[in-house]
Amino acid sequence: MRLLDAVAWLGAFVLAMVEYVGELAVFALAGVSHLLLPPYFPRQIGRAFMEIGYFSLPVVALTALFTGMVLALQSYTGFSRFGAESAIASVVVLSVTRELGPVLAGLMVSGRAGAAMAAELGTMRVTDQIDALSTLSTDPMKYLVAPRLLAGTIALPLLVLLADILGVMGGYLVGVYKLGFSSGGYLTSTFSNLEAQDVISGLIKAAVFGFVIALMGCFNGYRSRGGAQGVGAATTSAVVSASILILALDYVLTQVLFVK
Amino acid sequence: MSKLKIRIRGLKKYFGPKKVLDGIDLDVETGTGMVVIGGSGTGKSVLLKSILGLITPDEGSIEIDGIDVLKAPVRDARALRQQIGMLFQNGALFDSLQVWENVAFGLLAQKKVSRVKARDVAVEVLAQVGLGADVARLSPSELSGGMQKRVGLARAIAARPAIMFFDEPTTGLDPIMGAVIDELIVDCVKKLGSTSIAITHDMASAQRIGDMAAMLYEGQITWTGPAEELLTTTDPVVDQFTHGRAHGPIKMALRK
């Protein structure tokens, strides 16, 4: 009987996962299709852009700055064992632009803006505000979801661009003022090994992560049920699922963008 | 004989094994105020949401102006449903918008008028529900429960709908504010010449805003009659419900 119970549980789990993925795919397609077709809500797009982009600036900036600083320090302690200290600047700039900038910015924005989106839409769902939109001849997908998807996809690359600059600056500060590298030498080493593709690939990753953060925030909030507990569960689910997807997609995108 | 504005036949909605609506038949004549009463969890809100298209029923038909909105093409069904204005139980005002933006939301969303014009319209409509222009710039969270209901009513009537739905319009209000809201509802419906359906537990409110009444019990409409007969009818289910008797055909086991 225990074996049958386990099989039944596994079957139910697989069915639930398939249903979840199917609903998510339909939701994403609906959201994207609403982006393409009028009417558009520029005020909503602007508001979403402010929430995801502008208000995430401090947390992303601080994360990037300290990450660059730590990276330089750690690289120095590791590389000095085999006399490769001169590679620090290159390691910092490539790590930040290719990986750490998009991933860390994505995780921070997921925790801040993704959670806020899920909480807002979840509250709107449980207080009938989403139903009210429908009764006012306004498609909630078009009014609430599409602007956030667009804002997420545009805002995160801009944040990552800033994160790249601040991350490199953090490495420069530690390299020059603590580890004793010359300013000119550090900068030369930084830019001599940096290619446009390193930055562009990071920005492509950021655009995908931004879309995923907005999608998971909206999806979980939109299907929220019950009262405060349901909204809380939706918020947690939005952050956890977006974070896992960011890490998984980072691998996939690295494979696609860098592995020849 | 008046023309039917809404005609519902055999409407069924199940949530898993639970039969919430189990064959609803209901007629609402044009220009009439219908009040649907029934216990908590008996499907009154599901009935309204089914008519609005927010919930898809499992079986049955819902005709508005003689056209079945469940079978009509999406665009036609949407056009028919655009005639409906709804006052939600808790107001369902948009927190992120000011009061005037809530009231003029339909106009702004459909880009029918400029924001300046929409604001003027909103102030006019707010005046109809007894609220001054000073309220227009407030946020919904700054309003009392009664004011939120009035703003919700203003939003519902701003597009001058031919059909109006009221979901528990007096819930959470003191008796005096409840009476004020009822008076506003009657006044607005009369001025617009609308057909209305209200769901409520409040018998005083039901008699004030309804011309006709219907009892929803065990997923079906078990009684219909003039709203003024709600407290005098001999129907045992309605009698128990309207007088709040603990004993009668409505079993507590059903209310768990």
**Closest among B237, B91, B245, B83 to B168, alpha carbons compared:** B91
In the prediction, which pLDDT does B252 show?
Answer: 61
Q: What is the mean pLDDT of residues A245-253?
A: 97
CA closest to B89 among chain A residues = A128
Q: Is A219:A24 a contact under the CB 8 Å cutoff?
A: yes
Question: CA–CA separation, A68 vs A60, rounded Å?
Answer: 12
CA distance A75 to A69: 10
**Residue A139: closest CA among chain B residues belongs to which residue?**
B109
Per domain, the residue ranges of chain A are 22-255
Instruction: Find, in chain B, the residue whose alpha carbon is nearest to that of A130.
Output: B92
Task: State the nearest Cα–Cα gap between A120 and chain B, in angstroms.
Answer: 10
Q: How far does B161 lie from chain A, in Å, by closest CA?
A: 11
pLDDT higher than threshold 50 for residue A32: yes
Nearest residue on chain A to B111, alpha-carbon basis:
A39
The percent of residues in chain B predicted with pLDDT above 70, rounded, is 97
Out of A128-132, A255-259, B96-100, B154-158, least confident range: A255-259
Residue type for position A83: G
User: What pLDDT, on the 0 to 100 scale, is given for residue B256?
Assistant: 45
B 68-87 → A contacts, CB under 8 A:
78, 82, 84-86
Q: Can you read off the two tokens belonging to residue A82?
A: 């085999």
* pLDDT at residue A26 is higher than 90: yes
Query: What are B4-37's pLDDT values in tens digits?
Result: 999 999 999 999 888 899 999 999 999 999 999 9
Using the beta-carbon criterion (under 8 Å), do B92 and A143 form an inter-chain contact?
Answer: no
Tell me if residue B104 falls in helix, strand or coil: coil
**What is the C-alpha to C-alpha distance for residues B40 and B200, in angstroms, rounded to an integer?**
10
CATH code for the domain defined by B1-83+162-175+194-256: 3.40.50.300
From A39, A136, A143, residue closest to B111, measured CB to CB: A39
Q: B165 and B86 in contact (C-beta within 8 Å)?
A: yes
Interval A106-116: pLDDT, tens: 999 999 999 99
Answer whether residue A125 shows pLDDT above 50.
yes
Please give the Cα distance from A183 to A174 (Å, whole number). Answer: 11
Phi, psi of B29 (to 5 degrees): -80, 150
Contact call for residues B126 and B151 (beta carbons, < 8 A) = yes
Cβ of B92 within 8 Å of Cβ of A128? The answer is: yes
Structural domain boundaries in chain B:
1-83+162-175+194-256, 93-160
- Position B2 scores a pLDDT of 62
Q: Do A127 and B86 touch (CB under 8 A)?
A: no
Q: Is the pLDDT of residue B112 over 80?
A: no
> Number of A:B CB contacts under 8 A?
53
The DSSP letter of residue A178 is T
pLDDT of residue A137: 85
Mean pLDDT across chain B: 90
